[in-house]
Structures are given as C-alpha cells and as structure tokens.
Amino acid sequence: MAEQPAVASDCQCGNSDHQHGYIAAKDAYLKRLRRIEGQARGLQRMVDEDAYCIDILTQVSAMTKALQSVSLELLTDHMNHCVVDAAAKGGDEAQAKIDEAMAAISRFVK
C-alpha cells in the first residue's frame, strides 16, 4: 500500500481566524455524509443477510460515487477558497497550497 503524504489537519491559510471554504455548505455536507453512513450500514446489513453479490456491488458502486462527489466538491471549495487566498498572498504559502491541492488531485486519479 502506498504511503499517504502528510496532510495538514486544518487549512489556516496564514490566518488564525480563517474559515474553511466548505463552511457555507457545512450542513449540506453533513447531510450527505450521514446519507453515505446509512449506505454503509445498509451494505453491512446486505452482507449479513446474504444478499446477492451483484446487488451488494451495485450499492458499493453507488456509495463510492457518493463519496467521490463529496470529495470533488470539497476540493472545489478548497481551490476556490484556501488556494485562491494563498495565491493572492503569494510566497511560499501559495506554492504550498498548490502542491497540497495537486497531491489531493493525484489521489483521485490513482
């Protein structure tokens, strides 16, 4: 298994009172993540009840797509907020945010 690059636990963008780009849609993100959590419980139930393999795989695919959708929206929010803010400031922070975003994108395409 490939080693994951270190990722900062929060995006400060050089400002202690910084708000993350997803804050405006936080409730929507939480609602979607709870729905995905329900899908995971449904998958567990399907396996426990010996559901047909293809039916389980179909649900795994749906859950995967839902997670990918949330991830891409979070990445978009990060790019439009944290990366744009850092780029406007310039310097090392800008390059660090671009590198961080590129690392996240590369994880999607692997």
Tens of pLDDT along 42-94? 999 999 999 999 999 999 999 999 999 999 999 999 899 889 998 898 889 89
In a domain, 97, yes or no: yes
The pLDDT assigned to 51 comes to 97
The pLDDT assigned to 25 comes to 82
In a domain, 73, yes or no: yes
The pLDDT assigned to 1 comes to 38
The pLDDT assigned to 24 comes to 74
Three-class secondary structure of residue 65 per DSSP: helix
Q: What is the pTM of this model?
A: 0.73
In a domain, 88, yes or no: yes
Beta strands in 1-110 (DSSP E): none
In a domain, 2, yes or no: no
Residue 30 has pLDDT above 50, yes or no: yes
- Please, what is the average pLDDT of the chain? 84
Domains of the chain: total: 1
Query: Which DSSP symbol is given to 10?
Result: S
The pLDDT assigned to 40 comes to 97
In a domain, 3, yes or no: no
Cα 71 to its chain centre, rounded Å, is: 3
The pLDDT assigned to 22 comes to 79
Burial of 70 (0-12, 13-18, 19+ CB in 10 A): middle
The pLDDT assigned to 5 comes to 39
The pLDDT assigned to 9 comes to 40
Domain holding 36: CATH number?
A: 1.20.58.1000
| Structural domain that includes position 101 | 23-109
